Amino acid sequence: HQHTPAAPAEPLGTAERSAAALHAARLLAPLLPEPLDHVLLQADLTAVAPGPLRRPLADTLDVLADVESKGGATVYRFTPASVRRALDAGRSASDLHAFLSAHSRTPVPQPLAYLIDDVARRHGHLRVGAASAYVRCDDDTVLGEILADKRSEPLRLRRLAPTVLAAQTDPATLLDGLRSLGYAPAAESAEGDVLITRAHAYRTPPRTAPEPVPDGPPPPDDTLLTAALRAIRAGDLASTAPRRTSAPVPDGTLPRTSSAETLATMQAAVLTGEALWIGYVNAEGSASQRVIAPIRVEGGFVTAYDHTADEVRTYPLHRVTGVAELADDGA
């Protein structure tokens, strides 16, 4: 036979869950011990709970004492730290005495009463709190005037000593607030020294370091090498072509042109690929005539294929005395 699976049970509502919990509690109640409302205080600063305690009693004992052992009976131990914990929670010494007397089946032992009174006597002699800033003045009447002024309420001032006020605002806000009240306070450091404020110095932003000037012409790139190859292939034709100048040049003399004309002619030759005849004076002062095919003009240098030296060279433009175009083969 095939069994049909049972349909899932619907979730219980709030009222149904409460009824189920009460029913379970009634079933378990005969099996559980009744919570107690008392303990047995011992002379060795302990308290014995012979069974489970009611919730208010258990919660208070957890603050007032430390659990030392558990089992059929729970043993609590009273210590200076545990009593101080109860005092920190807002209980007074008289409250603790009354609580123990009301919930102990035995008299409160004298050592426990002495312990509570001794810890309570020393509790709170030192106070620790937080303050964002303070005001101090040797004249306590001035501080009294500040506290009496309703305009100082936003500063949340509180007198800690006759000559000291604590504030819940930061020092800058406190300074501004006191100045708005007509006082002239001065800020002081953690060591008690007066802080001296200086006016902001406006300086120009640092300048970016200039890019270093390269020593000599830049290394050739792919474009330069391609142009050099083109100039080499045209080298034979350019080197054998007769010279053509805008003005007659005597034999053995160097061509002479202005710097602007020299630069313009060089740049035009780079675009057209033509060879030029130039006059050049080296660093030693020796003059020579050369036939070059300019490849690039940049940074005061001309890079060209020198037909005379049969290699690519770079010449400073300021050492070129002049430039002239070469005549065509059919001229």
Per-residue pLDDT of the chain (331 residues; tens, 9 = 90+): 555 665 555 666 778 888 888 878 777 766 666 788 889 999 999 999 888 888 898 899 999 999 998 877 899 999 999 999 999 999 999 999 999 999 998 899 999 999 999 999 999 888 888 878 888 888 888 888 888 888 888 888 888 888 888 888 888 888 898 888 888 888 888 777 777 766 666 667 777 777 776 666 667 677 667 666 655 655 554 445 444 443 444 455 778 888 889 889 888 888 888 888 888 888 888 888 888 888 889 888 999 888 877 788 889 998 998 898 875 544 3
CB atoms within 10 A of CB 325: 18
Question: What token pair was written down for 325?
Answer: 């175009």
- Hey, is 69 helix, strand or coil? strand
Q: Are 89 and 63 in contact (CB under 8 A)?
A: yes
- Hey, is 21 helix, strand or coil? helix
- Hey, is 245 helix, strand or coil? coil
pLDDT of residue 328: 54
User: 36: which strand partners?
Assistant: 53
Nearest residue to 35 (alpha-carbon basis) of 22, 59, 51: 51
Cα–Cα distance, 75 to 40 (Å, whole number): 9
pLDDT of residue 114: 94
CATH architecture observed for domain 222-325? Roll (2.30)
Phi then psi for residue 179, to 5 deg, are -65, -35
Global pTM exceeds 0.75: no
Cα–Cα distance, 158 to 184 (Å, whole number): 19
Render the burial of 208-233: b for 16+ CB within 10 Å, e for the rest: eeeeeeeeebeebeeebeebbeebee
